[in-house]
């Protein structure tokens, strides 16, 4: 009999669903109406052995409690802050994610945001479209990147891939994370020190309790009125109200953001600001990377049910 699995989230393309279908009996609880859901939880959930979920949907302890036979949670994404890892460990449930396969595309987006923010590409695009160029409306020059310092908060796979790219722009790299990291001479003593030393601050840490609102008013003030914040990590890493205030009061120069505290809701104040670039959490959203992530997420389930160790277990 095929193992029964619950599939959460809405990123699944037909080729992934086709690949799953051959090996698993799939259930989609989020698509069920209330009555159907109650019947599913009563009759089917006790047989569910795996959950396939996304980095943003995750699985908390109460969600997992519905599945008493759960063996594995396969996350489509590298961030596992939406999964209650302690609760899963206590039940002996394996958690897997999809590291590495998305690193390059997420780093590309971080650099794209940094460039778009510093050279104000969206603003200039609107300027041309609105006919302001023909009307010769005044424009102020942007600032160049060469010789500027980029601070990277979280110097892991993505952080280092961002550094590799930005070195080619003639930028100096600094970073902060808890461990020493691969280039100790470039490591600042704290996030606050990093922000004070940087013209651009790129966030590339995991989300979760340890980084919650780490980028607060003091960090934003240390980055300063000429500074730019780039966030491709998680919205939870930034105190969004403090960010809106710092940008609005001119204490922070600009922000380029892919992630937000309450996605998909983005504060109206941020949407209204010309010195802010916004993208809808799309760091890994390319055809190639999403295909590779899906292959790895499904591959983890296949390995587990074939009696082999998961390909990319967390921790």
Residues near ligand NAP (CB under 6 A) are 78-79, 99, 102-103, 106, 154-159, 177-179, 204-207, 210-211, 232-234, 258-259, 281, 283-284
**What angle is formed at CA 112 by the lines to CA 106 and CA 117, rounded to 5 degrees?**
130
234 catalytic? Reply is yes
Structure tokens at 312: 């990319």
Q: Which contiguous run of DSSP H or E holds residue 7?
A: strand 4-7
| Of residues 286, 315, 310, the one with CA closest to residue 296 | 310
Given the complex with ligand NAP, which of 103 and 198 has the nearer CB atom? 103
In whole angstroms, the minimum distance from the beta carbon of 269 to ligand NAP comes to 21
Q: Which contiguous run of DSSP H or E holds residue 25?
A: strand 25-27
| Beta strands, E only, 158-275 | 172-176, 200-203, 228-231, 254-257
Given the complex with ligand NAP, which of 50 and 158 has the nearer CB atom? 158
Distance from C-alpha of 201 to C-alpha of 122, rounded to nearest angstrom: 20
In whole angstroms, the minimum distance from the beta carbon of 250 to ligand NAP comes to 27
263 catalytic? Reply is yes
Given the complex with ligand NAP, which of 159 and 227 has the nearer CB atom? 159
Nearest residue to the partner ligand NAP, using Cβ: 156
- Tokens 């934003």 correspond to what residue? 220
State the pairing for strand pair 72-76/94-96.
parallel
Given the complex with ligand NAP, which of 108 and 221 has the nearer CB atom? 108
Given the complex with ligand NAP, which of 159 and 253 has the nearer CB atom? 159
DSSP symbols for 48-105: EEEEEEETTT-B-HHHHHT-TT--EEEEESS--TTB-HHHHHHTT-EEE---STTHHH
CB 94 within 8 A of CB 71: yes
In whole angstroms, the minimum distance from the beta carbon of 57 to ligand NAP comes to 14
Active-site choice (76, 174, 234, 290): 234
Given the complex with ligand NAP, which of 25 and 286 has the nearer CB atom? 286
Distance from C-alpha of 306 to C-alpha of 152, rounded to nearest angstrom: 40
- In the three-class reduction of DSSP (H, G, I as helix; E, B as strand; rest coil), residue 286 is classed as coil
Bond prior to 37 in cis (omega within 30° of 0): no
β-bridge partners, 51: 6, 73
Active-site choice (47, 119, 157, 281): 281
Structure tokens at 127: 């300027």
In whole angstroms, the minimum distance from the beta carbon of 280 to ligand NAP comes to 10
CB 177 within 8 A of CB 154: yes
**CA 272 to mean position of chain CA atoms:** 23
- The residues that are catalytic are 234, 263, 281
């Amino acid at each position: 009999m095929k193992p029964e699995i619950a599939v959460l989230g809405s990123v699944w393309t037909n080729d992934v669903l086709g690949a799953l279908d051959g090996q698993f009996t799939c259930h989609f609880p989020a698509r069920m109406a209330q009555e159907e859901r109650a019947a599913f939880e009563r009759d089917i959930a006790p047989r569910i052995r795996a959950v396939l979920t996304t980095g943003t949907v995750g699985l908390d302890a109460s969600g997992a409690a519905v599945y008493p036979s759960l063996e594995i949670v396969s996350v489509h994404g590298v961030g596992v802050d939406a999964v209650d890892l302690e609760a899963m460990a206590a039940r002996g449930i394996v958690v897997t994610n999809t590291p590495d396969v998305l690193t390059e595309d997420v780093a590309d987006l971080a650099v794209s945001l940094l460039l778009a923010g510093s050279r104000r590409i969206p603003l200039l695009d609107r300027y041309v479209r609105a006919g302001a160029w023909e009307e010769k409306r005044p424009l102020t020059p942007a600032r160049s990147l060469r010789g500027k310092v980029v601070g990277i908060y979280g110097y892991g796979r993505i952080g280092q891939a961002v550094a590799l790219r930005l070195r080619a722009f003639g930028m100096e790299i600094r970073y902060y994370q808890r461990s020493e990291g691969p280039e100790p001479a470039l490591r600042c003593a704290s996030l606050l020190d990093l922000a004070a030393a940087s013209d651009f601050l790129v966030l590339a840490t995991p989300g979760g309790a340890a980084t919650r609102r780490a980028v607060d008013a003091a960090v934003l003030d240390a980055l300063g009125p000429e500074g730019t914040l780039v966030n491709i990590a998680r919205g939870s890493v930034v105190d969004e109200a403090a960010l809106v205030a710092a940008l609005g009061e001119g204490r922070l120069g600009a922000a380029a953001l892919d992630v937000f505290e309450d996605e998909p809701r983005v504060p109206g104040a941020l949407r209204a600001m010309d010195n802010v670039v916004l993208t809808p959490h799309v760091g890994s959203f390319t055809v190639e990377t999403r295909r590779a992530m899906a292959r790895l997420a499904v591959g983890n389930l296949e390995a587990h049910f074939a009696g082999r160790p998961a390909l990319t277990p967390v921790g």
